[in-house]
Amino acid sequence: MSSLLSEQAGLPAQQAFSRLLKFWRKVFDLSQEELAYAINSSARHISRLENGHVHPSFDMVEKIAAFLKLKERDTSHLLIAAGFMAKPAQTDFHASRLSWLRKAMKLTLRALDPYPSVLINEAGKILMVNKGWVHFYTPIVGRQALQSAVNHFEFLFELHHHHSKAMQDALALILMNLQQENLLRPDPTIAALLHRLSQCRGVPADWALRAAKLEPMASFKTELEIEGKLQSFYSVSQTVGAMGPTAYVSEPRLTVNTLYPEDESRPKMQMPDSVMPHPLLFY
């Protein structure tokens, strides 16, 4: 294996796919002829792929990965290196095999108390909340509205009806994230959500242009009107990866979003010993 590493280190000018292809061929001790025969190609073509003289098709990458029986992580890396989107198998957060992840997320959210935190999927669906989230938002929106909240993004957009620059920027960034997500991986659920959110009050008509001029931050400063006063917060997002090579392709695709007050004394984040129950509060 050390010889493989040293050979790869000496190929800085070659394309990433070329390096990976040569690496995997040598891992499985295959000649260019053997690999070519197995995938109905030619040794000359494999050589040109490894030298970076030609670019592989999507089907070619999949054939290579299938013949080598690469796992999802390594297949995804091979696709990404060739310039294609990886296609991770969608994983249900509630699947029995992910009971360990649900427990870990429950512990994570509990550890973030008293700061309001929520676990969401890539489309903003609320999967779990912590006590800080229930305690913080109940007096703002009311118990019934909080109990019926399903989508984190829709919940946030309904809260923000004022037109401050900071808030418009925040909404624009959220919309841009969803727009690019849908362009990369078309999803009718996200497309419908994007349309609904773009029609909300307070969303600037030029949100795409506004977002393009902002740093694409997953965490940013935002504002909320509480008891008639505008207060500043930091909205911090942490990506959770369970299966897959990177945050871009791991499944299930989860995010923990936490709200921290810029001024920790206003509003107070201390919680009572008990808070109202919520269907997505699991401790």
The alpha-carbon radius of gyration of the chain (Å, integer) is 24
Any bridge partners for residue 146, and if so which? none
The pLDDT value given to residue 145: 94
Provide the 8-state DSSP code for 258: E
Q: How far apart are the first and last CA of the chain?
A: 47
Find the CATH number of the domain harbouring 39. 1.10.260.40
Looking at per-residue pLDDT, the higher value among 216 and 282 belongs to 282
Tell me, yes or no, whether 280 lies in a domain.
no
Count: domains in the chain: 2
Any bridge partners for residue 129, and if so which? 118, 281
The pLDDT value given to residue 160: 72
Q: Estimate to the nearest angstrom the gap between the alpha carbon of 172 and the chain centroid.
A: 17
Q: Minimal CA–CA distance to 118: which of 91, 144, 139, 137?
A: 137
Q: What is the mean pLDDT of residues 112-119?
A: 96
The pLDDT value given to residue 163: 64
Locate tokens 């994983």: which residue? 91
The pLDDT value given to residue 58: 94
pLDDT at 244 over 90: no
Q: What is the mean pLDDT of residues 18-32?
A: 96
The domain containing residue 38 runs over which residues?
2-81
39, 174: one domain: no
50, 110: one domain: no
Of the chain, the percentage scoring pLDDT greater than 90 comes to 56
pLDDT at 137 over 50: yes
Range in 89-98, 122-131, 221-230, 261-270 with the lowest mean pLDDT:
261-270
Tell me, yes or no, whether 124 lies in a domain.
yes
Tell me, yes or no, whether 147 lies in a domain.
yes
pLDDT at 217 over 60: yes
The pLDDT value given to residue 11: 43
Question: Residue 264 corresponds to which tokens in the numbers above?
Answer: 């920790």
Find the CATH number of the domain harbouring 232. 3.30.450
159, 199: one domain: yes
Tell me, yes or no, whether 91 lies in a domain.
no
Indicate the residue among 58, 81, 104 that finishes a domain: 81
236, 107: one domain: yes
113, 230: one domain: yes
Tell me, yes or no, whether 188 lies in a domain.
yes
